[in-house]
Amino acid sequence: MCGIVGYVGHSDGRVNAGHNALDVVLEGLRRLEYRGYDSAGIAVVADGTISSRKKSGKLNNLISELEARPLPESLTGIGHTRWATHGGPTDQNAHPHLADGGKLALIHNGIIENFAELKQELLAKGVTFQSETDTEVAAALLGDIYRNQLGGDAAKGGLTRAMQLACQRLEGAFTLLAVHADQPDVVVAARRNSPLVVGLGEGENFLGSDVSGFIDYTRRAVELGQDQIVTITADAVDITDFYGAPAQGKEYEVNWDPASAEKGGFPSFMEKEIHDQPDAVLQTLLGRSDIHGKLTLDELRIDPQLLKTVDKIIVLACGTSAYAGQVAKYAIENWCRIPTEVELSHEFRYRDPIVDENTLIVSISQSGETMDTLMAVRYAKEQGAKTVSICNTNGSTIPRESDAVLYTHAGPEIAVASTKAFLAQITAAYLLGLYLAQLRGNKFQGEIKDILADLGKIPAKIQRILDNEAQIKELGQSMADAKSVLFLGRHVGFPVAMEGALKLKELAYIHAEGFAAGELKHGPIALIEEGQPVFVVVPSPRGRDSLHAKVVSNIQEVRARGAKTIVIAEEGDEAVKAYAEHVFYIPETPTLLAPLLATVPLQIFALALASAKGYDVDQPRNLAKSVTVE
């Protein structure tokens, strides 16, 4: 949530075509739209002044404002897309906020928890405020320190020193970017518990919430650590801590290009990303095992001897990632015989959980910046637990603060509602479970090799589903008037059902719920009435302990009460046909791996239904891609 871009370019004083700060920052904001936002703004430094424009609504509103009231050409600028927290999504509350008599501009991602106390202090000094935001308080504090404590004297450290002193006063989670008219070739930024990355150019440097903000200009990036301040000019990047001590970032190469973030001919990013899933799973599997089928997870830097002592696993995640964790629980307990719990990150640390040095915490986050999960991981580490992150974003905070990381390789996911990242997370969790089973001797090497071979067949099976998506799309389009859809599943089908319901809620804004099919008679069956659509994820009829017959009975129960039954079943399962109005078949695969296939038709259905209703499937209302505040 909230996109941030900063730029300083061309120290020779010339603005090259395409490298006007306004152009760079606007393009960065376009790239960051996927994070979710409800207002946008930009400020540039030119001719000894700050010039700023900001508008509520989408980026096009800001662009229209800029066309009506152009900004001067500039070498230095900052830009922001805001997701409202303090104060509604209005022009006044949009960023940037100005201070120091209009000579300083500041943008902010996060929440300043002690803003009320600071605001009272500043009001007593005669400062006036134009907005309802905590951000304007931070801007006013920074301006007050710059002007009244440092006297606006560059010899005393100027804007960088003012930012250090301001951050010592701030509490909460924040990324701050600031420019000042007195220092026209400088952008100063700070981060605490909120994402920020530096882009390294030639004669120009960049800042962004993530690398999408500058991927059009450079693939060289620098990770910033916790409680660090960075000052960029066209030719230098200087990093300190909040107290001015020199600090270091970690440089890395971005391994995807701008074309990866484009729609590739599909009408939406989400549809493209659904079709990216065979490759996302394949890329997550590649390079994880040797020629003998033995897993070699080089990113797992925890001593294998310590992993052998683990007696409990807790998976921490939110939303879709939590459902990936629910799938992982079934596989890890089956393969490793280790008790495994799945906790919502935002509940975990507030209930005094039982965690010790024999607990393995597995956090799952697409962005690696999910604040609830980050704080839960920190809490677990304080209790002595070992921590492993499953993440799709290199260099993000949660992997950096975990003891080990298992990166998914799904590529950039632009649509707010997660699809390919979800399948990649499940795949990575399977690899972790198999690695632990290999390490602890719970599985013979031949068994692990066979499961890996089955995983290797999954991409082609997903592609088969995608090649036959027309039937699912047609159903989704025909149900655009549906007011409620229910989803049933058992065993690994239960989290699939919950994820199917979540996708429909996110995209189509209708009531949708996923239930454990065995719970049907314990209450949910009261919801069934004539015409009620019910999706049922049916387990394979193969296997000694198959739940197939029980779930077929559930289909009969809801159909007898007037439900419209829509079934996801394994190819060759003829028994379900008599009880379903629609059957979508998925290829045969071992039960524990079935979620990687059964999820795909539900994604396609939700996309088609929401599209038929005319909704923006890439940016659903009220949602942000990564939740970076608690």
One of 119, 443, 564, 625 is an active-site residue; which one?
625
One of 2, 318, 336, 391 is an active-site residue; which one?
2
Q: CA dihedral defined by 438, 440, 444, 449, rounded to 10 degrees?
A: -10
DSSP string over 200-239: E-SSEEEEESSGGGTTTT-SEEEE--TTEEEEE-SS-EEE
Q: How far apart are CA 178 and CA 380, in angstroms?
A: 34
Cβ(293)–Cβ(445) below 8 Å? yes
Q: How far apart are CA 514 and CA 599, in angstroms?
A: 13
Q: How far apart are CA 251 and CA 215, in angstroms?
A: 15
Catalytic, 318? Answer: no
For residue 484, the tally of other CB atoms under 10 A from its CB is 14
DSSP string over 286-322: TTSB-TTS-B--TT--S-HHHHTT--EEEEEE-HHHH
Q: Cα 260 to chain center, whole Å?
A: 17
**Sheet harboring 76-82: ordered strands across?**
49-56, 39-46, 76-82, 3-9, 204-208, 197-200, 220-223, 250-253
Q: Cα 46 to chain center, whole Å?
A: 35
Angle at the Cα of 503 (from 502 to 507), degrees rounded to 5?
A: 120
Q: How far apart are CA 145 and CA 546, in angstroms?
A: 68
80 forms bridges with which residues in the sheet?
4, 41
Q: How far apart are CA 100 and CA 143, in angstroms?
A: 5
Catalytic, 2? Answer: yes
Beta strands in 13-143 (DSSP E): 39-46, 49-56, 76-82, 97-99, 104-112
Half-sphere exposure of 60 (CA within 13 A, CB side): 0
Q: Which of 230, 231, 234 is nearest to 217 (CA)?
A: 234
DSSP string over 107-122: EEEEEETTHHHHHHHH
Q: At what angle do helices 445-456 and 277-285 cross, to 10 degrees?
A: 150
- Determine phi and psi for 431, rounding to 5 degrees: -60, -40
At 95, the amino acid letter reads H
Q: How are the residues of the chain apportioned to helix, strand and coil, as percentages rounded to the nearest 5?
A: 40, 25, 35
Half-sphere exposure of 304 (CA within 13 A, CB side): 11
DSSP string over 362-405: EEEESSS--HHHHHHHHHHHHTT-EEEEEESSTT-HHHHHSSEE
Give the SS3 label for residue 456: helix
Query: 446: exposed, middle or buried (C-beta count within 10 Å: 0-12, 13-18, 19+)?
Result: exposed
Cβ(580)–Cβ(535) below 8 Å? no
Which residues are catalytic, by number? Answer: 2, 625
